[in-house]
Every structure is written in structure tokens, then in C-alpha cells.
Amino acid sequence: MDFTMFGPGIVLGLGCIGSAIGCGIAGMASHGVMTHVEEGHGKFIGLSAMPSSQSIYGFVLMIRMKAAIVGGGLSSMSAVGIALFAGLAIMVSAIYQGKAVATAIQASAKQPAIFGKCATAAGIIESFAIFAFVFALLLL
């Protein structure tokens, strides 16, 4: 059995799993809030999509990791190690970003003036996924 592409699969899978969970959490909050407010639905939908970016990080890492393995610059075992820990960091970031976005949606429905401040907190959580993404790229 060939495990050559196990690492690229792990990093893509974990990024997508995290994005799906995070967007699901945020989307459910968005749906609940939209039944109680008459306007501003677009901003709630936009916020609920924030955790989807982590799947892009996983996708880019998968492509770069595959190229490094095929090119001989990265062993399969090193790829698994990088993919596992970078992928977990990206996945956890997406999940917690979804939770933060869910509370941001709920808070900004009650006080629309704090929308930007709430979105900023979700952006801070995104930075940890970016750190993991960049650090993984540096290891490839």
C-alpha cells in the first residue's frame, strides 16, 4: 500500500472539516437571528462564511506538499507530521472562529453598532490559521 499522498490528504481534510464545522455553527446562529431581525441579513451571512477560508489554506498546502513530495524535497513521513499538526491548527481555528462568529451575529443583532468590533475578534482567530499555514509553507 502506498502512503505517499497521505500527508496532503490529511491537511486538506482537516482544513475542510474545520471549515464545515465552523460555517455550520455560524450558519445556525445566522438563521436563528434572521428570524428576529428585519434587515441586515447579508452581514450575518457574510460573517457565517468566515471560517471557509481555512479550507483554502488546506487546499494550497495540499498542492504545495504534493509537489514537494513528487519533487523529492519532502519525505512522506515528514509530510504526515507537517500535515497533521498544521491541519489540526487550521481545523481548530475554523471551529473556534465559527463559535466566535456565532456570538458576533447574536450580539450585533441586538446592537448593530458593535458589528465591526465583533468581526475583528473573528479576524484575530483567523490569524492563527494563517500562522500555521505560513509556518507549514516554510517547512515544505
Which residues, other chains included, contact 39 with Cβ-Cβ below 8 Å and sequence gap of 6+? none
Q: Does pLDDT of 119 surpass 90?
A: no
What's the pLDDT band for 64 if we cut at 50, 70, 90? very high
pLDDT in tens, 1-53: 678 899 999 999 999 999 999 999 999 988 888 777 777 777 788 888 999 99
Question: Residue 1's pLDDT is what?
Answer: 67
Q: Count of CB atoms within 10 A of residue 126's CB?
A: 18
Can you give the length of the chain in residues?
A: 140
| pTM given for the model | 0.90
Domains of the chain: 6-139 (1.20.120.610)
Question: Residue 111's pLDDT is what?
Answer: 86
Burial 102-112 (b: 16+ CB within 10 A, else e): bebbbbbbeee
